[in-house]
Amino acid sequence: MHTPSKPNKPTTGTNLEHARLHNRRVVLEAIRQAGRLTRADLTRITSLTAQTISNIVAELLHEAKLFAHAPEKTARGQPPIPLSINPDGGYSIGFHVEQHQVVAVLLDLKGTTRGRRVFAVSYPTFAEALPLLMKGVDGFRRKVSTERLLGIGIALPGPFGVQGMSAVGPTSMPGWDDPQSLAALRDMSGLPVLVENDATAAAMGERLYGVAGGLKDFGYLFVGHGLGSGLYLDNRLYSGHWRNAGEIGHVVFTPNGKPCYCGKQGCLERYVSGASLLEHLGTGADRNLSDLDLSERQHAAGVDRWLAEAAPALRHAVGMLESLLDPETVLVGGTLSDDILGRLVVQAHPLFPSVSVREERTLARLQLGTAGHDCVALGAAALVVLAELSPDYHALLKA
């Protein structure tokens, strides 16, 4: 999500341009959260001077990022003008890249989906997928004003830039986070590009569109072809120093267990992942799970065998996240069907005793995400919008 800072880098001060951009985002974020605010509200909420608010609002109105509504009626004095985010003030594009498909979404500044496309692929390299990505970008460009496109967010399976594991295997997509590849897309599209792992983007998607709305601390276990987790801590995403935080797929769950592509044995994702489900179904590891109807009788025994193996592994992963993060809840989502994920959650119970067992809890310790299958693409696109709106995301587009 961001470029790791160099060791021992001194803390830098802020300059005027930095401060101006920061204040813009503070104003936009305040309006986004409240829905509608007047200049006087903004002055009170942000503690910025009336003059600064006035300048920023004038700039944002000029850029059409804000709407000015009809003045409120007051007995005396100048009537206050409510301001809101203009949905058409900016758009972002999100791609969820998987082994078998690329989902593309177009999001407006208020977070509403304005376009969606799905492309079938098969283990694409970046070079193979680039024309498809550009097809998606060009298609969306025809829908909205090009100059209001803010950027592209790409979410794909991690880990990124891994050294020291003999191979990361078919559950990852090596080369996609290569700066040269991303630069090619940036140059062809003329738009900033950010890349994030699928579990982290899904956590953001769930925070904005699903059951995690309003939560401050949660873990998200993403069951795709492999297994990863997204970490939303203290009201923001946590990516780690090398953007691999939450990559728990290759944590050993059973010593001397199933051999893994990474060179170890008994890794979590050898038990709880789409790839491990395919093994139990006996269909070949490179099949597209969404082509199979798992409710068919011929798959029942394989699904049951997988659930019996995957549920204890998931229980273990939940225990790890709870001990490390002390979250409000742990969510499960991914590219498997809701039916299968729902059964997995049920079978993972009872969970291990942990620090998360508390009488005052209002949320279940483990629950299914509700943001749907576009959750990852929406999260990736939302990261671009948040980079424009939120003061916490100012570092996002520097890569």
Q: Which residues bind Zn ion (CB under 5 A)?
A: 250, 260, 262, 264, 267
- Least separation in angstroms between residue 120's CB and Zn ion is 28
- Least separation in angstroms between residue 250's CB and Zn ion is 4
- Least separation in angstroms between residue 264's CB and Zn ion is 5
Q: Which pair of structure tokens corresponds to residue 33? A: 């959260």
Within 8 A by CB and 6+ apart from 138, the residues are: none
Q: What are phi and psi of 220, to 5 degrees?
A: -130, 115
Find, among 135, 98, 142, 105, the residue nearest to 120 by Cα. Answer: 98
Neighbours of 140 (CB within 10 A): 23
- Least separation in angstroms between residue 398's CB and Zn ion is 32
- Least separation in angstroms between residue 360's CB and Zn ion is 38
Per-residue DSSP letter, 90: -
CB-wise, 102 or 313, nearer to Zn ion?
313
Rounded CA separation 43/52 (Å): 9
* C-alpha atoms less than 13 angstroms from C-alpha of 344 in its C-beta half-sphere: 34
CB-wise, 248 or 387, nearer to Zn ion?
248
CB-wise, 185 or 267, nearer to Zn ion?
267
Q: Are 2 and 399 in contact (CB under 8 A)?
A: yes
- Least separation in angstroms between residue 98's CB and Zn ion is 19
CB-wise, 263 or 391, nearer to Zn ion?
263
CB-wise, 267 or 382, nearer to Zn ion?
267
Query: For the chain, how many residues are written?
Result: 399
CB-wise, 275 or 345, nearer to Zn ion?
275
- Least separation in angstroms between residue 169's CB and Zn ion is 7
| HEC string for 2-65 | CCCCCCCCCCCCCCHHHHHHHHHHHHHHHHHHHCCECHHHHHHHHCCCHHHHHHHHHHHHHCCC
CB-wise, 267 or 275, nearer to Zn ion?
267
Per-residue DSSP letter, 160: -
CB-wise, 179 or 259, nearer to Zn ion?
259
Q: Are 62 and 122 in contact (CB under 8 A)?
A: no
- Least separation in angstroms between residue 262's CB and Zn ion is 3
Percentage helix, strand, coil for the chain under 3-state DSSP, each rounded to 5: 40, 20, 40
